[in-house]
Amino acid sequence: MSQPEGSSLPHIVVVGGGAGGLELVTRLGRTLGKRQRARVTLVDANMTHIWKPLLHEVAAGSLNSTEEELNYVAQAKWNHFNFQLGCMTGVDREQRQLQLAPVQDEDGTTLIPARQLNYDYLVIAVGSNTNDFNTTGAAQHCIFLDTRAQAERFHTRLINQYLKAQVRGEMASSESINVAIIGAGATGVELAAELHHAALMLRSYGLDRVRPEDLNINLVEAGPRILPALPERIAVTAAATLDKLGVHTHTGSPVKEVQADGLLLADGQFIPASLKVWAAGIRAPAFLTEMGLETNRINQLVVDKTLRTQDERIFAFGDCAACPLDEPGKFVPPRAQAAHQQATLLSRNLINLLDGKPLKQYRYRDHGSLISLSTFSAVGNLMGNLTGSVMLEGWLARMFYISLYRMHQMALYGIPRTIMLMVSDRIGRGTEPRLKLH
């Protein structure tokens, strides 16, 4: 059982229940919490967690988010940590108190008042938000994919456009729907392929007023090629697959302005779009700049290689932290594998702190990259000490990609429960539609 508030045990508070933060509190709960060596508390503004790399599937409708979500209250009970619902608004570093905003319902009624949470060690793992670079019209006309709610909003609008086209009985010909995705990184590329898959599924379920080839998907990248952060050979293979799927890629020109009916590029080209998704760039939440700690130009907390900030009692990791690489001037990339590695190291370092042992330094290990192109293919590379870089494509790459999510589940649930989830998923395929239709 977890220790009650007011216990003399050291209190470790983790803010942010994303993949990294949730893995960290689960590890700490199973070690320190279970053994009554420390109180461990997770703070998050939501009641449930969904793995962020799956949000493009939620947007397309190929994943039902309610079936894949994890409830923080249940996870806390099973793994010996506490959960506090709330949004961090500030921190009193001198008093070692975290300030939480009041929790309100949809009508604005206060459910939980504003409050303070004492800590002995504080870990910030609040992730990142999409960076629209203050592009004119982006905030007004684009949907971002930072949260489950945003992904579901896009899916609802997509289905609504299909339903609108379907009931126009007076139209004898098919009708086009124009989608624009700004940013051809992993999220943008995966969303483009997933939307093409959704178009095929929607037609098979009878929404055939829009043919698959009439869902015009435009992928816009300011740089010279798609997947700019990954090796070029992966980008070339992914681009060829997208071309076969009929996805229109536009590279070499940034978006100058987002309008209600489309995108205006810097080169003067106009791309019509009734649905627009911004998936380019990241920045950490702005409130991090108000903590009195060093931050960079995209609001990330600057940390050393032990993941500690300037305050010896405050740590940060994942997308919200700028952790140096061995190469001067370079920082750990904002990737899921980095957050997983850092969660593992930080759990050990917090235990070392309690034991009076020195902290270990984090060293980023790039295990490669995998890009899912829906059910059509996958492409990527795996990197290891013995094999070097091995290029993967097609079915094998797809299996490795799926295994990444299973590894995340194993870290949270353990092996037996993950196997049960896999069996449940397999059984459910025959009794549920392959696409979320509402």
For 65-91, write each residue's pLDDT tens digit. Answer: 777 789 999 999 999 999 999 999 999
Q: Which of 70, 9, 18, 73 is nearest to 40 (CA)?
A: 9
pTM of model > 0.85? yes
CA angle 189, 192, 197 (to 5 degrees): 130
Please check whether residue 111 lies inside any domain of the structure: yes
The answer to whether residues 32 and 351 touch, using CB atoms and an 8 Å cutoff, is yes
Can you tell me the mean pLDDT for 409-429?
Answer: 77
- Please tell me which residue, 396 or 189, carries the higher pLDDT value: 189
Please check whether residue 6 lies inside any domain of the structure: no
pLDDT of residue 6: 53
pLDDT of residue 438: 57
Confidence of residue 162 (pLDDT cuts 50, 70, 90): confident
> What CA–CA distance (Å, rounded) separates 318 from 128?
9
For 87-141, write each residue's pLDDT tens digit. Answer: 999 999 999 999 999 998 888 899 999 999 999 999 999 999 999 999 999 999 9
Whether residues 340 and 391 share a domain: the answer is no
The answer to whether residues 196 and 210 touch, using CB atoms and an 8 Å cutoff, is no
Last residue of a domain, one of 227, 254, 280: 280
Whether residues 372 and 405 share a domain: the answer is yes
The residue written with tokens 């080169």 in the block is 267
Please check whether residue 25 lies inside any domain of the structure: yes
Last residue of a domain, one of 257, 280, 303: 280
Whether residues 163 and 233 share a domain: the answer is yes
pLDDT of residue 428: 60
Whether residues 163 and 271 share a domain: the answer is yes
CA angle 117, 50, 321 (to 5 degrees): 55
For the record, the structure tokens of 140 come out as 């007004």
pLDDT of residue 1: 39
Whether residues 152 and 272 share a domain: the answer is yes
- Distance between the two ends of the chain, CA-based, in angstroms? 40
Whether residues 164 and 276 share a domain: the answer is yes
> What CA–CA distance (Å, rounded) separates 267 from 252?
9
Whether residues 165 and 270 share a domain: the answer is yes
Please determine, for residue 383, whether its predicted confidence score (pLDDT) is greater than 70: no
DSSP-assigned beta bridge partners for residue 12: 40, 121
Whether residues 142 and 273 share a domain: the answer is yes
User: Which residues constitute the domain of residue 373?
Assistant: 368-428
Residue type, 5: E
For 219-244, write each residue's pLDDT tens digit. Answer: 999 999 999 988 888 899 999 999 99
Last residue of a domain, one of 307, 327, 355: 355
Please determine, for residue 153, whether its predicted confidence score (pLDDT) is greater than 80: yes
Number of domains in the chain: 3
The answer to whether residues 64 and 152 touch, using CB atoms and an 8 Å cutoff, is no
Can you tell me the mean pLDDT for 373-383?
Answer: 74
pLDDT of residue 435: 61
Confidence of residue 170 (pLDDT cuts 50, 70, 90): very low
Please determine, for residue 330, whether its predicted confidence score (pLDDT) is greater than 60: yes
Average pLDDT, the chain: 88
Please determine, for residue 190, whether its predicted confidence score (pLDDT) is greater than 60: yes
For 347-377, write each residue's pLDDT tens digit. Answer: 999 999 999 999 999 999 887 777 888 777 7
pLDDT of residue 156: 94
> What backbone phi and psi angles, to 5 degrees, belong to 104?
-125, 155
Please determine, for residue 385, whether its predicted confidence score (pLDDT) is greater than 60: no
The answer to whether residues 43 and 73 touch, using CB atoms and an 8 Å cutoff, is no
> What CA–CA distance (Å, rounded) separates 312 from 294?
13
The CA dihedral of 95, 101, 103, 109, to the nearest 10 degrees, is 120
